[in-house]
Amino acid sequence: PRKIIIDTDPGQDDAAAIMLALGSPDELDVLGITAVAGNVPVALTSRNVRVVCELCGRRDVKVFAGADRPLVRQLVTAEHVHGKTGLDGPVVDEPTMPLQPQHAVDFIIETLLAEEPGTVTLCTLGALTNIALALNKAPEIAPRVRELVMMGGGFFEGGNITPAAEFNIYVDPDAAEIVFKSGIPIVMMPLDVTHRVLTTKARVERIRAIGSPAAVAMAEMLEFFERFDVEKYGSDGGPLHDPTVIAHLLRPDLFKGRDCNVEIETKSDLTVGMTVVDWWQVTGRKHNAKVMREIDDQGFFDLLTERLARL
């Protein structure tokens, strides 16, 4: 199986991504899960990762806490979407599995230096703070990363936290800039893709019908999570952003995109956190990311449901 580290800020959609990965042991070996501040502060995201692992019966997964704030800016959170805990919806037990004593950034560095070069994939579901800190501290890790698959950014679709910026990039644009300039091969799942995968009633009921503790909790999380978009935009469900990252590792054929240059706006007050995607190749700038634009949304939900049923 492919070795991955998941860096995350759960978040109900992050939880779905973690479950999709843990439900796919034939394809994916989760070396560790690192928590970062984002949707809620890191004390909660590192708790929430463990809640999800315990729901999956996987107390053995190594969970690390990372950065509690962006590189240079104040932390912006998203309780208005995810609720006070970040994982509102189901009633869950407080986790009892341990948090590893090592800092997430040191775990990322140590793992990339210990494993064969080109074998570890980074899956990022939140702000890129932990990855940027690791690159700053140990630049020699960059060429050892097989690929970094991220949920972040938006181009034709616009932003979801400001008109120009998607939340994960907006929280720490300085970190995103470091990652996009690092030379690591990047696959980017922007809002253009994730706004196509909606948690419709029928899809949530299919998940609930699996009947396991993980699946029932997931259905309750999705019901909570979707209320924001359903109430505000009258949409058919919430956009299930983060599991698209894991789905890409399992079924790249579900996606279409192209290699582009992507630059991050870090200076303008109006557009800070914007991902400037050169989709039409109007500059000569070097390609640094494969930017996805289309997804087979039903294929994606079939995959997610099938893998949740394996937990």
Q: Is 304 helix (H, G, I), strand (E, B) or coil?
A: helix
| Whether 295 contacts 193, CB under 8 Å | yes
**Residues 4, 11, 112, 176: which binds Ca ion (CB under 5 A)?**
11
CB of 64 to ligand BDR, least distance (A): 18
Residue count of the chain: 311
Q: Cβ closer to Ca ion: 9 or 147?
A: 9
Q: How many other CB atoms sit within 10 Å of the CB of residue 117?
A: 12
The reply on whether position 32 binds Ca ion by CB under 5 A is no
Residue whose CB is less far from Ca ion, 144 or 221: 221
Give the nearest distance from C-beta 196 to ligand BDR in angstroms: 13
Nearer to ligand BDR, 52 or 109 (CB): 52
Number of residues that bind Ca ion (CB under 5 A): 6
First to last CA, the chain: 17
Residues 49, 19, 82, 84: is their CA dihedral positive or negative? negative
**Residue 273 interacts with Ca ion (CB under 5 A): yes or no:** no
45, 62 Cβ separation under 8 angstroms: no
- Decide which of ligand BDR, Ca ion, none touches 160; Cβ closer than 5 to 8 Å per partner kind: ligand BDR
Site string for ligand BDR, 162-191 (x = CB under 6 A): ----xxx-----------------------
**Given the complex with Ca ion, which of 9 and 54 has the nearer CB atom?**
9
**Which CB atom, from 192 or from 242, has the smaller least distance to ligand BDR?**
242
Q: Which of 155, 118, 112 minimizes the C-alpha distance to 130? A: 112
# of chain residues touching ligand BDR (CB under 6 A)? 15
Phi-psi region of 237 (alpha: psi -120 to 50; beta: other; left: phi over 0): left
What is the Rg, in whole angstroms, of the alpha carbon atoms belonging to the chain?
Answer: 18
Least distance to ligand BDR from the beta carbon of 26, Å? 26
Find which of ligand BDR, Ca ion, none residue 178 binds, CB within 5 to 8 Å per kind: none
**Cα–Cα distance for residue pair 125/253, rounded to 1 Å:** 21
**Rounded distance between C-alpha atoms, residue 129 and residue 270, angstroms:** 22
With CB under 6 A as the contact rule, the residue among 15, 53, 81, 104 that binds ligand BDR is 81
Question: Min. distance of Cβ 298 from ligand BDR in angstroms?
Answer: 21
Instruction: Considering only residues 116 through 135, tell me which ones interact with ligand BDR, judged by CB under 6 A.
Output: 125-126
Report in angstroms how near the CB of residue 182 gets to ligand BDR at its nearest.
20
Strands (E) across the chain are located at 2-8, 28-35, 63-65, 120-124, 145-151, 186-189, 255-260, 262-264, 275-277, 289-295
Residues 109-148, one symbol each (x = binds Ca ion by CB under 5 A, - = not), give ----------------xx----------------------
Q: What is the C-alpha separation between 55 and 49, in angstroms, rounded?
A: 10
The residue ranges that bind ligand BDR (CB under 6 A) are 11, 13-14, 39, 78, 81, 125-126, 151, 160, 166-168, 241-242
